[in-house]
Amino acid sequence: MTARAMTPLFDRATAFAANLLEATPDTKREILLDIVTCVAIADKRISLRLRGDALRARLGIANAEAGEEVRFDVPVAFRRRGVETRLVIGGTAASAKPDETLVALVVQAHRWFNDLQSGTVASRRDLANRDDVDPGDVSRVLPIAFLAPDITEAILDGRQPTELTAARLKRMRDLPLDWQQQRRYLGFV
């Protein structure tokens, strides 16, 4: 099939996906039950089997052969992250939304460091008193202000390793100051 012939197919597939996302839950269920014959989740992959004739009909493609099966195998990993398990596809979390708690921790670290640097507060103890937190929390959070810029950016974009949570980052002792060591220590390389 030529690229020119595939373009309308991709356009129809994109429109189908958009319509599916906007459909009511009952309509989504009906469509998926029509197309999907099997979803198998294994240790390192998800196998998805589709009815080719039903998929072709939904995409408006003629000459659908009855009984034809389309199969996708996607390598995945399951990573524990606190009390939840996250699905990781292709090395990144399936949902690349920023972790609001982790982002808030990074912001807090920078805010506290700026307050100390500017003289707004005189000490870590003053920070703890002002913000009504344990002085140990201030000591655990401040080193996070010295993360490598690319690590901070990845956290803000939601691209951090799945197992890197706010609680885990806050509990890490002896966070290296060297940025390359940080990348290794935190799982970015």
Instruction: Tell me: do 88 and 106 sit in the same domain.
Output: no
**What pLDDT score was predicted for residue 95?**
47
Range of the domain at 62: 3-93
Same domain? 88 vs 15: yes
pLDDT (tens digit per residue) in 52-111: 888 888 888 876 566 688 888 887 777 776 677 777 666 554 446 788 999 999 999 999
Rounded Cα–Cα distance for residues 158 and 42 (Å)? 26
Please tell me whether residues 70 and 106 are part of one structural domain. no
- Give the pLDDT score at 36: 93
Q: In the β-sheet with 36-41, what is the strand arrangement from edge to edge? A: 36-41, 45-51, 69-81, 84-89, 92-93
| Domain count across the chain | 2
In this predicted structure, what is the pLDDT of residue 188? 86
Same domain for 53 and 89? Answer: yes
**Do 9 and 72 belong to one domain?**
yes
User: What is the tens place of the pLDDT at every residue in 108-166?
Assistant: 999 999 999 999 999 999 999 999 999 999 999 999 999 999 999 999 988 888 788 89
pLDDT at 117: 94
Distances (CA, A) of 93 to 79, 81, 85, 161: 9, 11, 11, 8
Same domain assignment for residues 87 and 107: no
SS3 68: coil
Q: What radius of gyration do the chain's Cα atoms show?
A: 24
Task: Identify whether residues 26 and 83 lie together within a single domain.
Answer: yes
CA distance 114 to 3: 54
End position of a domain, from candidates 93, 116, 142: 93
Strand partners, 69: 51
Q: Which residue has the higher pLDDT, 30 or 96?
A: 30
Q: Cβ neighbours of residue 102 under 8 Å, at least 6 residues apart? A: 155, 160, 164, 165, 166, 169
